[in-house]
Chains A and B, each alone.
Chain A
Amino acid sequence: MSVWDDLVGQDRVVEQLQAAARAARAAVLAGRGEAPEGNASLMTHAWLFTGPPGAGQVTAARAFAAALQCTSPDLDLGGTPGCGFCDGCHTVLAGSHADVKQVRTDGLSIGVGDMRALVLRASSYPTGGRWSVILVDAAHRLTEAAANALLKGVEEPSPRTVWLLCAPSVQDVLPTIRSRCRLLVLRTPPADAVADMLVRRDGVEPEAARLAALAGQGDIDRSRRLAVDDQARARRAEVLRIPLEVADLGGCLAAAQRLVDTAKADAEALAETQDAKETDDLRAAYGASEGSRAPRGMAGAVKELEKRQKSRATRTRRETLNVALGDLLGFYRDVLAVQLGAGGAFANEDQRPAVQRVAGEGAAENTLRRIEAVLACRRALDRNVDPLLAVEAMTVALRAG
């Protein structure tokens, strides 16, 4: 199984990356005085992976990183870089390759200190003699200072350094940075390709995989979670009750409260498991032991960590809400499809009766207005509107007309 197999429905991107990996290999060989092959301009020092959420930006970037470190003997015979079996591919995918550094944000913003260290590291020559790869999995979460530090690294790349940046869209990245990157846009993967992957990779039953792939609406991670996680399925079912509950005002207010409470519970659950461990790790890194004086500088570092954890909790809450809004949006799109007599598969194949019922109760104009209300709620949350208020404004708009 090659490193490219996890990319679902991204044939064009895969072709482009494979060509770049070949060119990269040629450049390495040329540097060693061996005969170059291929077109060097296919390779570049900075890449920006964008696409709809869950389309697999990070998966694509990691596969490319593996291909750059691939040591398969087949390469000499014209094989495609990224075999998935050699030591290079394997260690990159496992996250232990010495020349591949992935900046995992886990929802925490990336500070300027981290970024300066990375830029410095990137300028050193790769120990394995190939490429020094820095993968930033959420370039849109760089603080402004960090983004400026990154810009320095991207502006003056060492000959063997490759920056792989991932972000939801080009607009999320500083113009000065994106103008120095080659842009790769992943597309929304088709549902049958996602279902296929769920069956193949995760051993999901074909029918369950089909429903999960449709419900995920192109977000592979979300589809997988719906396929394998009972709680995620239960949450979705709860959200999709909302269109049937908003007939009266009491239902609107209750639904909004429930949605926000759930999101809060998610954030708290995450905090419980993650925050304590991170804080412990940080203390351990400073060599602090129970009962002794805190080492110099630790208090400040802990405070900084707590600040970042708090902003992550906010973001988790918002993301849970966004997932719920995505489910609602899919529901009303299906309703609209029924009202307009459009064919094709539903995102909510499993909710057909509810979709039919809501479709029968109103006209397409009402549905369009409801879709607009869901989108407005998403914008409001982006603008930091109080979550309960934003969701209430949405549910009361779903009620009207």
Chain B
Amino acid sequence: MARKSAPDDLLAPLTVAVGQEELLLDRAVAEVVAAAKKADPETDVRDLAPGGLQAGQLAELTTPSLFAERKVIVVRAAQDLAADAVKEVKAYLEAPAEEVIMVLVHAGGAKGKGLLDAAKKAGAREVLCAKLTKASEKLAFIRGEFRTLGRAASPEACQALFDSLGSDLRELAAACSQLTADIEGPIDEAAVAKYYSGRAEATGFEVADLAVTGRAAEALERLRWALAVGQPPTGITYALASGVRSIGRLATAGRNLRPADLARELGMPPWKVDRVRQQMRGWTGDGVAAALTAVAEADAAVKGGSDDPAYALERAVVAVARASRISSRPY
């Protein structure tokens, strides 16, 4: 088995970019190409689109030319290559050409696994491009983006960006570079809010969903963001009240009702009933009572021109989250 190339060796003879996160795959390819061109501006780049590698073509591409120029060959969607092409690539891996850098872009699944194994065995430098599914991974991605761009962004700003743009990495990356280009000084929550308020999805109902399931810290973060993008405080108290009320109603509704009748009696669509049932765990009658009281106080504070409506809302959110864990009287 050949010695494995180091991850930072961009000029390694063989790189496999493994995964399905398009942006990361593209970047892995672009990094190699850029490094090669930096080393030799005359580098010849052959980026073969999926299905673009014909039988016999590889031999032709890897044959040293008269001028012995450096070459980068990119094989996209390598997991989908025809059997003949796979055979040729494997054969090439046994005896790679000098001055050729090959990049295999592979989805990483069961399909075409033999080729991937062969590449690894041949000592390929491996770049992981798996889809980022967890929020923490995406947040890390955003932080990394700003770091790469050489700018400091507060954790709240990263969170806010994630909250407002959601999951698409390309969009997140674009937003990071946009913010870096447009904003002077530190990138904070307010700056993010200014740019992306139109896309905000942090509604009062999201705050309420987090609060009634006892996730105080997350609910508070979401609340700050909702306020930062200009959500009206009254909408948040309304959402909190209706979240708590739904729990109280479902918990005290007739036990023997059929789901459709229950939904009708509660005035909620059936999917909502299921969701509220999930949220209901841990709640007691005293909890609902305490939570409603707290929300009513916040509503009064918000409407009565309190000095600090944001604080009134924060208190209510915390009170609701705590109330979801009050273990005393049942309903």
Which of B238, B289, B304 contacts A400, CB < 8 Å?
B289
Knowing A253-B249, A385-B303, the reply to whether A248 touches B285 (Cβ < 8 A) is: yes
A99 within 8 A of B: no
Task: Tell me how far the C-beta of A59 lies from the nearest C-beta in chain B, rounded to whole angstroms.
Answer: 34
Which residues of A161-204 have CB atoms within 8 Å of chain B's CB atoms?
Answer: none
Which residues on A sit within 8 Å (CB–CB) of B300?
379-380, 383, 385
Which residues on A sit within 8 Å (CB–CB) of B237?
386, 389
Which residues on B sit within 8 Å (CB–CB) of A248?
252, 285, 331
Q: Bound state CA distance, A383 and B286, in angstroms?
A: 25
Q: Bound state CA distance, A383 and B245, in angstroms?
A: 21
Selecting from A49-57, A349-357, A390-398, the interface stretch reads A390-398
B263 within 8 A of A: no
Which residues on A sit within 8 Å (CB–CB) of B234?
386
Task: Tell me how far the C-beta of A320 lies from the nearest C-beta in chain B, rounded to whole angstroms.
Answer: 19
Which of B289, B297, B299 contacts A396, CB < 8 Å?
B289
Which residues on B sit within 8 Å (CB–CB) of A388?
241, 245
Are A389 and B296 touching (Cβ within 8 A)?
Answer: yes
Which residues on A sit within 8 Å (CB–CB) of B6?
none
A384 within 8 A of B: yes
Q: Bound state CA distance, A248 and B253, in angstroms?
A: 12
Task: Tell me how far the C-beta of A371 lies from the nearest C-beta in chain B, rounded to whole angstroms.
Answer: 16
Which of A250, A384, A389 contacts B295, CB < 8 Å?
A389
- Of all chain B residues, the one with the shortest Cβ separation from A384 is B303
B288 within 8 A of A: yes
Task: Tell me how far the C-beta of B286 lies from the nearest C-beta in chain A, rounded to whole angstroms.
Answer: 7
Are A396 and B288 touching (Cβ within 8 A)?
Answer: yes
B293 within 8 A of A: yes
Are A250 and B293 touching (Cβ within 8 A)?
Answer: no
- Of all chain A residues, the one with the shortest Cβ separation from B238 is A386
Are A249 and B248 touching (Cβ within 8 A)?
Answer: yes
Task: Tell me how far the C-beta of B302 lies from the nearest C-beta in chain A, rounded to whole angstroms.
Answer: 9
Are A397 and B289 touching (Cβ within 8 A)?
Answer: yes
B207 within 8 A of A: no
Which residues on A sit within 8 Å (CB–CB) of B304?
383-384
Q: Bound state CA distance, A385 and B299, in angstroms?
A: 6
Q: Bound state CA distance, A58 and B245, in angstroms?
A: 42
A233 within 8 A of B: no
B124 within 8 A of A: no
Are B303 and A253 touching (Cβ within 8 A)?
Answer: no
Which residues on A sit within 8 Å (CB–CB) of B296?
380, 385, 389-390, 392-393
Are A253 and B285 touching (Cβ within 8 A)?
Answer: no
Q: Bound state CA distance, A250 and B330, in angstroms?
A: 11
B165 within 8 A of A: no
Which residues on A sit within 8 Å (CB–CB) of B249?
250, 253
Are A253 and B248 touching (Cβ within 8 A)?
Answer: yes
B173 within 8 A of A: no
Which residues of A217-253 have CB atoms within 8 Å of chain B's CB atoms?
Answer: 248-250, 252-253
Q: Mark B246-259, 1 if CB is under 8 A from A, else 0.
A: 00110111000000
A283 within 8 A of B: no
Q: Bound state CA distance, A392 and B297, in angstroms?
A: 12
A399 within 8 A of B: yes
Which bracket fits the contact residues of B?
A: 20 to 34
Are B248 and A383 touching (Cβ within 8 A)?
Answer: no
- Of all chain B residues, the one with the shortest Cβ separation from A373 is B293
Are B292 and A392 touching (Cβ within 8 A)?
Answer: yes
Knowing A249-B288, A253-B249, the reply to whether A386 touches B299 (Cβ < 8 A) is: yes
Q: Bound state CA distance, A253 and B249, in angstroms?
A: 7
Please report whether the interface of chain B is mostly helix, strand, loop or mixed according to DSSP: helix
Which residues on B sit within 8 Å (CB–CB) of A249?
248, 251-252, 285, 288-289, 331
Are B299 and A389 touching (Cβ within 8 A)?
Answer: yes
Q: Bound state CA distance, A50 and B252, in angstroms?
A: 46
Which residues on A sit within 8 Å (CB–CB) of B295?
389, 393
Are A250 and B252 touching (Cβ within 8 A)?
Answer: yes
Task: Tell me how far the C-beta of B326 lies from the nearest C-beta in chain A, rounded to whole angstroms.
Answer: 12
Task: Tell me how far the C-beta of A378 lies from the nearest C-beta in chain B, rounded to whole angstroms.
Answer: 12
Which residues of B262-318 have CB atoms within 8 Å of chain A's CB atoms?
Answer: 285-286, 288-289, 292-293, 295-297, 299-300, 303-304
Which of A253, A383, A384, A393 contacts B293, CB < 8 Å?
A393
Q: Bound state CA distance, A396 and B297, in angstroms?
A: 14
- Of all chain B residues, the one with the shortest Cβ separation from A399 is B289
Which residues of B176-207 have CB atoms within 8 Å of chain A's CB atoms?
Answer: none
Q: Bound state CA distance, A235 and B298, in angstroms?
A: 30
Task: Tell me how far the C-beta of A256 lies from the nearest C-beta in chain B, rounded to whole angstroms.
Answer: 9
Q: Bound state CA distance, A386 and B296, in angstroms?
A: 8
Which residues on B sit within 8 Å (CB–CB) of A384?
303-304
Are A396 and B252 touching (Cβ within 8 A)?
Answer: no
Which residues on A sit within 8 Å (CB–CB) of B303?
383-385
Task: With a 10 A CB-CB cut-off, give which of B285, B288, B300, B303 has the most chain A CB atoms.
Answer: B300
Which of A380, A383, A386, A399 contacts B241, CB < 8 Å?
A386
Task: Tell me how far the C-beta of B82 lies from the nearest C-beta in chain A, rounded to whole angstroms.
Answer: 66
Which residues on B sit within 8 Å (CB–CB) of A385?
296, 299-300, 303
- Of all chain B residues, the one with the shortest Cβ separation from A377 is B296
Knowing A249-B252, A250-B249, A383-B300, the reply to whether A397 touches B241 (Cβ < 8 A) is: no
Task: Tell me how far the C-beta of B304 lies from the nearest C-beta in chain A, rounded to whole angstroms.
Answer: 4
- Of all chain A residues, the one with the shortest Cβ separation from B244 is A392
Q: Bound state CA distance, A248 and B251, in angstroms?
A: 11
Task: Tell me how far the C-beta of B129 lies from the nearest C-beta in chain A, rounded to whole angstroms.
Answer: 49
Task: Tell me how far the C-beta of A396 lies from the nearest C-beta in chain B, rounded to whole angstroms.
Answer: 4
- Of all chain A residues, the one with the shortest Cβ separation from B305 is A383
Task: Tell me how far the C-beta of B88 lies from the nearest C-beta in chain A, rounded to whole angstroms.
Answer: 71
Task: Tell me how far the C-beta of B309 lies from the nearest C-beta in chain A, rounded to whole angstroms.
Answer: 13
Knowing A385-B303, A390-B296, A397-B293, the reply to whether A250 touches B331 (Cβ < 8 A) is: yes
Q: Bound state CA distance, A396 and B245, in angstroms?
A: 11
Which residues on B sit within 8 Å (CB–CB) of A396?
288-289, 292-293
Q: Bound state CA distance, A334 and B245, in angstroms?
A: 31
The 7 closest A-B pairs by CB, nearest first: A250-B252, A393-B296, A396-B289, A249-B285, A383-B304, A249-B331, A384-B303
Q: List 30 A-B contacts (CB under 8 A).
A: A248-B331, A249-B251, A249-B288, A249-B331, A250-B248, A250-B331, A252-B289, A253-B245, A253-B248, A379-B300, A380-B296, A380-B299, A383-B303, A383-B304, A385-B296, A385-B299, A385-B300, A386-B237, A389-B241, A390-B296, A390-B299, A392-B241, A392-B245, A393-B293, A393-B296, A393-B297, A396-B289, A396-B292, A397-B289, A400-B289
Binding site for A on B (CB under 8 A): 234, 237-238, 241, 245, 248-249, 251-253, 285-286, 288-289, 292-293, 295-297, 299-300, 303-304, 331
